[in-house]
Structure 1
């Protein structure tokens, strides 16, 4: 076994999370904020950047004068230390440019702040998504300071995972032998009216003016409410921001223009008069502080505001201070270019709205909801995080799986006021400036062929995923039956019917095939029979359209122009389209059976069998599947005898949907070995990329296509020399499903080593833009390791890994109604298996798992249940006499023996 794979086998419980320090902090920036609610990234140095809360995508968006600061003092011996809670370490590092990424960008105003005022010496960032922890290191500070920031993230609870807010909790511990007092400051600029794109200099921007900050005091919080009453209700920038402290005795500096004013305010803090341990009702910050500014800001300027939370700590004592940053910008419009020919719709703004605005009237309501439900939201979010990081996954893979949640909560995705969920392919950024721009959405919208790879959203928030299928069939599908691969918003506008689309030119065939597969996935996940009944006529129309237009001779092999995710079309039989087609036929067959259309199911199965045999006969070359070129078609952008990394994409889908092998098993495994052998490259020095550079220097990565037997076309398939994370996740996970542990881990670890913080952000896997949704294929790696499969139609739950990382296993899982963990511990005499539910409820009629034993005793909360056991080919299945519902907090215990 290789050294790389050997290191990959290190497993255990990593409850502390995954830690980045020194140069690995350079690119770390975890996006925080709710689903479709806007995001702010917390950098590895403790700085806030990538401000994208006002309904526009701008990876370099920055709101100055928004930071945290600390003052710690001691009377005897005399000490007074003031720090900006951000490290200078990254600023002092020599520049080291990485192609097509800019997560290491530190805005000029943030640099200036640290040049004017002292920052801490170092930081250490620990990711445990949705939690980010910053450990501030400074030898001169008498207190140890740690920040934990998060936005609630609770799988299956989209509403509570979509809050436009971030909670910042600081833990202060007095490490001196003397009493220490001081204050923790939070500063925020009133950005109401900003468009998210126009640069801000200090507190000045031509979009500012008329901004106001007002103080809100309640028994359980003190807040600054930031507004701009001069804006019309329908203005894109109209809204509200709110900075809140939960610490009694918090002082307020409501309106200031320069950080020096706020820092001077901190200097004037006197704990003797500002902090009373027995009576926190009154504070007197005006005694030493500046007179507060009042009124609205002048044209071209805004107000900054700040809160000071006091503390006093005896030696060894610990205290916590919590701030909440919330926002409310309800006016989302179509502010992105839509592919296809330009259409003139006059002066309409095309309202889209935000889902969170239907739940909350303003930022104050968001904050009060968070405060009222703080314990429940934090506990549930932490429980999910613990399920991942307490697993037996290798630490780097646990971090990768947890980070899948950042993609659906990134600016790439949004959740409209009508409840429908939408997503670009990615967010325009450094990887897109050569063809478009560095702000806005990349390649709108709901691109079917890129979203074909997504597995994380469908598992974590299946109701949002179902809305995308409803959009596909009920709004985008053409009367003839085909589905264009892009959606036009608002949905009442004409869709891309009979018009050029872009990427590719005509409706993408792989996207249509994926839509069939995704529909069946949603049915298995728990969409319900009425939901399938509602969409079924449209699904049949789509399948029939594909047969009519690409399989005229009914041999099961699709031919002609086959538009696809490479933004081109393949011509001639190829396994990339072929395997997707075979899997889609099987999925359609299963849905026909569910609908009671047995004859149709039989016809589609026969077509599948013909197609499977014919594809294998035509394309198998002894090592992998090739493409048969169509001599009558354009020769450009084809791969011919090449080894396409994605050629078994359809088999990956088939395994995840329990559809079995769609091609001969040995050919599948041999093909995967060939893909890893020929396409996984170690080191890119001197490599000719041709277009975009997603791997360089000593990186390892899986190339899209290679020609190990020669025959590379003069103009090969587009993007052949690139490395795509979504494809790597798909291939790596597929290897794991086939029991090829070393091959699968080598691909996956190559990916994550590129995104280790040093040269790329572990929370931003890029392709054609930042936060690229193809990367949500990563969720399949977890299900590949656990062998997890779930069918809500039959309440069947299965854990049958082809090969595990260790003898014992603890892995999280999620069904459509609940989530928890599956644990398996073996000894010489028996195997102990537990299934616990941490959230929601899990419906089980039949439970199966890999087992050497053939008998099982099953207990629910200590009470033995009546079951019938069946052991076949290494899989033990127990069927319950009465279907059970495993509620949150309950555990199913199983002891299996021979």
Structure 2
């Protein structure tokens, strides 16, 4: 292999990146699975608010921030917004809007580090005599979907007095009441349905501000409530439940004067002054302070050397989700017009309101922290390179982003990705979810619900399976050519779920759907029953492949292999034999007609008779079925030596060291001198006039797929090269490290990153037999790694004795069955 990175770069330790405050693309999501989320930027600022049951990448919350006041004995008081300084560009037509409070003082700099689900930010300023940091997180506990699906987050500000004098410290959180949110006007002020109210509450568990609404329908998708609370004692709390409702910037001016004077808040501000005549006669929103902001303040005195935590809990409850996939502008307008029914979010079946959410977070704080921290330490205290850990962990974000959600019956649903205000690619798109591995491993119950939707609810009597699920919303089924890769891939993934969990009942529920799927395949795609798909196959490239493609046929072979195992379990022995013979025949024929000595090519007499084919190209996805087979613990489905050579060829021909040399007219995901793996090249010539439309793009999901295959075939350096190049692109300046985009933000296919991690672990498991084993591919003499199956998770340690003997120990840290 051509050396692209040095050994030091490839085999670095497990230290993760640190993001400075000027890393403007960083958005770390806080929020649970299926709850919506709030993002934290590298400056410590709360950025995007996507808690309103639809994507909202541009949603900002005016006047929502944390601030600190401090006064040393005998010194002057100092106040700051708890963010580092704002970054360019600054060339706005009207400057920064007043509701962004850009004119208030901030810290000089900040540094963000993460160990999912925890994010830490250190604030730095030479004029500040204390050490200040923020630790924020939403509980994340593999195999515990309930406690990983809480609509809220902890924000714990830690302050240490490094002086020789006592220092009085106050930290205040201010939040806008966004209940009834309906977008923004041209001055960036929020528009709302109905009216809003803020109320201070206090009980035995928490104290804080409850934000509610009234005078609009309880079916509205932003009907609900929010809360900003603390577990701090009442004696340390002051509050301003509602900022002064004056004119212009009166509310903001009043808050800052109140807070910065003595670090405490007056409950209410009253002024008797003559206001602006213009404001009396004009409806301009900027002339009237109508935002319903509430602030909660904690005050403590720190002795020299003392450190204290200022705990806050942010929670929300917006139960109504549109009972429809909202993908088009028309769909969004239909929401506004009330043309869609709503379904409840799953979290609405667990909690009564945002106060109840906060109470649960407060009452279970120690356990939720300990179990989340146990995962974080187990995962990140490993001996794999940091960029590998980042790739696997940072893409966990996808399942907690607006891409994924749960409805009231517990069904787990997902887009392909999300755009600014709309979803992209609805309905658990089967051919995209083929690549993802994270949800299946970390939360098997969620992935199993998807298989039930496919094989029980969506499958038709003739075996046709729509590749987008609409039945969970009680809508007519998706009408389009079925996707061969997606439909057959569901069989492999069903088998994977069985192996991960050992759940026999899942197979019994879905078995009839499996039979129907393969019957349909033999009628439509493999009419001569030779184990090879030859009729037109719609695939993930949003087109049909003609002739024989190893991409689709390898999935078919793996599906037949998996189906044979399920048939045997269901005591359909004759059918099991038939499926095994078809798989063997298909593997033999595919190898005979498609293998060219270096890789598998498309078999098609005249590639230019059809648009959007790849012909003699070296397709990165050519062994997608083999990748899925490895993920499902099925082993090799094609000759091992050919698999290894084909994957080697993919790396050799398709990895580009400089994007500017990758000439194409498609969407561009890498640019200039960036490195990446393209979906297809034509090293031996024969490029079609119009190749399939994505051939020059770079999809991180395919990069992870190929990297996982490279590891499984003992080509580790090449695998690491792909992943390092990919993660170098997600540096926080050019791209968000927590969102690998394809057709939208937080794209599902990127969850293939977990497959790379499992491959490097050399992890093999079968919970049907209660078996697991490890063959680490790196640092074999001294290896530590995290593992997770459908019942337990923990760590594995491998060491080498002085006599050269390798030995392993495993430790169970969480047992879902016992829990």
TM-score tier, shorter chain, comes to over 0.9
Residue among 452, 469, 475 paired with 1:470: 452
| 1:853 alignment partner in structure 2 | none
Name the structure 2 match of 1:182.
Answer: 169
Matched, 1:29 2:27: yes
Measured in 1, the distance between the counterparts of 2:269 and 2:810 equals: 60
SS in 2 for 1:685: helix
Secondary structure, counterpart of 1:242 in structure 2:
strand
Give the match's secondary structure for 1:587.
helix
Q: Which residue of 1 aligns with 2:404?
A: 413
Residue aligned with 2:195, SS = coil
The CA distance in 1 between the partners of 2:162 and 2:566, in whole Å, is: 64
Pair 1:123-2:121 in alignment? no
* Secondary structure at the counterpart of residue 414 of structure 1: strand
Separation (CA, whole Å) in 2 of partners of 1:462 and 1:200: 45
Quick one: distance in 1 between partners of 2:271 and 2:471? 46
Offset at 1:818? 1.1
Residue 247 of structure 1: how far off its partner (Å): 2.3
1:816 aligned partner: 790
Q: Tell me, yes or no, if the aligned pair for 1:29 and 1:763 is still in contact at 8 Å.
A: yes
C-alpha contact (below 8 Å) 2:780/2:798 kept by paired residues: no
Say if 2:791 is the partner of 1:792: no
Q: For the Cα contact (< 8 Å) 1:407–1:776, is it kept in 2?
A: yes
**Aligned-pair CA distance for 1:112:** 6.8
Whole-angstrom CA distance in 1 between matches of 2:31 and 2:568: 42
Which residue is equivalent to 2:127? 140
Question: Aligned to 1:228, what secondary structure does the other structure show?
Answer: strand
Give SS of 1:663's match: coil
Partner of 1:230: 215
For 1:887-898, what aligned pairs fall within 5 Å after superposition? Answer: none
| TM-score between the two structures when normalised by the length of structure 1 | 0.84
Matched, 1:91 2:110: no
Distance of aligned partners of 1:111 and 1:44 in 2 relative to their CA distance in 1, 3 Å threshold: farther
Give the alignment of 1:567-586 within 5 angstroms.
567-586=542-561
Partner residue, 2:299: 310
SS in 2 for 1:546: helix
Residue pairs, 1:141-180, within 5 angstroms: 141-180=128-167
1:644 Cα deviation after fit: 0.5
Residue of structure 2 equivalent to 1:10: 11
Q: Is 2:272 the partner of 1:290? A: no
Give the 3-state SS of the residue equivalent to 1:352 in structure 2: strand
How far is 1:467 from its partner? 0.6
76, 80, 88: which one aligns with 1:79:
76
Q: 1:425 to 1:642 in 2, by over 3 A?
A: same
Change (3 A) 1:199 1:784: farther
Preserved contact between residue 13 and residue 390 of structure 1 (Cα < 8 Å): yes
Aligned in 2, Cα 1:755/1:826: closer, same or farther, shift over 3 Å? same
- Aligned pairs (5 A) from 1:319-468: 319-334=308-323, 336-337=325-326, 349-428=340-419, 438-468=420-450
Query: In structure 2, do the counterparts of structure 1 residues 841 and 358 end up closer, same or farther at CA, with 3 Å as the change threshold?
Result: closer
1:658/1:232 Cα in 2 relative to 1: closer, same or farther (>3 Å)? closer
Deviations 1:162-193 (A, max 9, x none): 10001000110112222111311101000000
SS at match of 1:49: strand
1:658 to partner: Cα distance: 2.5
Find the counterpart in structure 2 of residue 102 from structure 1.
none
The CA deviation at 1:730 is 0.6
Query: Is the contact made by 1:158 and 1:461 (CA closer than 8 Å) also made in structure 2?
Result: yes
Distance 1:337 1:743, change over 3 A: same
- For 1:108 and 1:828, locate their aligned partners in 2 and report how far apart those are by CA, in whole Å: 67
Among 723, 726, 744, the alignment partner of 1:751 is 726
1:360-759 equivalent positions in 2, closer than 5 A: 360-428=351-419, 438-488=420-470, 490-496=472-478, 499-500=479-480, 506-526=481-501, 528-631=503-606, 634-685=609-660, 687-759=662-734
**Counterpart secondary structure, 1:40:** strand
Report how far residue 598 of structure 1 moved: 1.7
1:339 and 1:186, CA in 2 relative to 1: closer, same or farther beyond 3 A? closer
Give CA-to-partner distance per residue, 1:119-172, whole Å, 9 cap, x none. Answer: 100010001111010000111001110000000111111111110001000110
Change (3 A) 1:199 1:471: farther
When residues 479 and 779 of structure 1 are mapped into structure 2, their CA distance, relative to the original with a 3 A threshold, is same
> Per the alignment, in what secondary structure is the counterpart of residue 91 of structure 1?
coil
How far apart are the structure 2 equivalents of 1:743 and 1:13? 19
Of residues 160-169 and 518-527 in structure 1, the stretch that sits farther from structure 2 once superposed is 518-527
User: Does the CA contact (< 8 Å) of 2:224 and 2:317 recur in 1?
Assistant: yes
CA distance in 2, matches of 1:608, 1:10: 39
Cα distance, 1:629 vs. partner?
1.6
The offset of 1:21, in angstroms, is 2.3
Residues of 2 paired with 1:172 and 1:386: CA distance? Answer: 23
Is the CA contact (8 Å cut-off) linking 1:124 and 1:135 kept in structure 2?
Answer: yes
Kept in 1: contact 2:500–2:790 (CA 8 A): yes
Q: Which residue of 2 aligns with 1:56?
A: 54
Alignment check: 8 A CA contact 2:532 2:548 kept: yes
CA contact (8 A) 1:209 1:300 kept: no
The answer to whether residue 815 in structure 2 is matched with residue 836 in structure 1 is no
Structure 1 residue 441: Cα displacement: 0.7
> Would the alpha carbon gap of residues 841 and 156 (structure 1) be closer, same or farther in structure 2, given more than 3 Å must change?
closer
C-alpha contact (below 8 Å) 1:91/1:111 kept by paired residues: no
Measure how far apart 1:350 and its partner are. 2.5
Name the counterpart of 1:38.
Answer: 36
Taking the aligned partners of 1:299 and 1:87, their CA distance within structure 2 comes to 29
Q: CA RMSD in A?
A: 2.7
For residues 201 and 330 of structure 1, the distance between their equivalents in structure 2, rounded to whole angstroms, comes to 29
CA distance in 2, matches of 1:323, 1:193: 24
Q: CA deviation at 1:654?
A: 1.5
Normalized against structure 2, the TM-score is what? 0.92
Partner secondary structure for residue 87 of structure 2: helix
Greater CA drift, 207-216 or 506-515: 207-216
Contact 1:328 1:362 in 2 (8 A): yes
Native 8 Å contact 1:134 1:148 kept in 2: yes
The question of whether the paired residues in 1 share the 8 Å contact of 2:21 and 2:43 is answered with: no
How much does 1:812 deviate? 0.5
> Structure 2: how far apart are the matches of 1:5 and 1:806?
20
Contact 2:179 2:192 in 1 (8 A): no
Is the 1:151–1:167 Cα contact (8 Å) retained in structure 2? Answer: yes
CA 1:682–1:638: 2 relative to 1, 3 Å: same
Residue 335 of structure 1: how far off its partner (Å): 5.5
Q: 1:227 to 1:841 in 2, by over 3 A?
A: closer
Structure 1 residues 445, 5: CA separation in 2 closer, same or farther (over 3 Å shift)? farther
Matches of 1:539 and 1:261 in 2, distance apart? 66
Report the CA distance between 1:194 and its aligned residue.
Answer: 0.2
**3-state secondary structure, aligned to 2:359:** helix
Q: Distance in 1 between matches of 2:597 and 2:707?
A: 21
How many residues are treated as equivalent by the alignment?
793
The verdict on how the C-alpha distance between 1:715 and 1:584 changes in structure 2, with shifts beyond 3 A counting, is: same
CA contact (8 A) 1:21 1:125 kept: yes
Q: Is residue 483–residue 507 contact of structure 1 (8 Å, CA) maintained in 2? A: yes
CA contact 2:21–2:42 (8 Å) conserved in 1: no
Greater helix content:
2
- Quote the offset at 1:260 in angstroms: 2.4
The answer to whether the 8 Å contact 2:711/2:760 transfers is: yes
Q: How much does 1:534 deviate?
A: 1.7
Query: Which residue is equivalent to 1:279?
Result: none
The offset of 1:62, in angstroms, is 0.8
CA 632–685 in structure 1, closer or farther in 2 if over 3 Å, else same = closer
Unaligned stretches of 5+ in structure 1? 96-104, 275-284, 429-437, 501-505, 843-886, 889-898
Counterpart CA distance in 2 for 1:584 and 1:340 is: 38
- Pair 1:340–1:244, CA change in 2 (3 A): closer
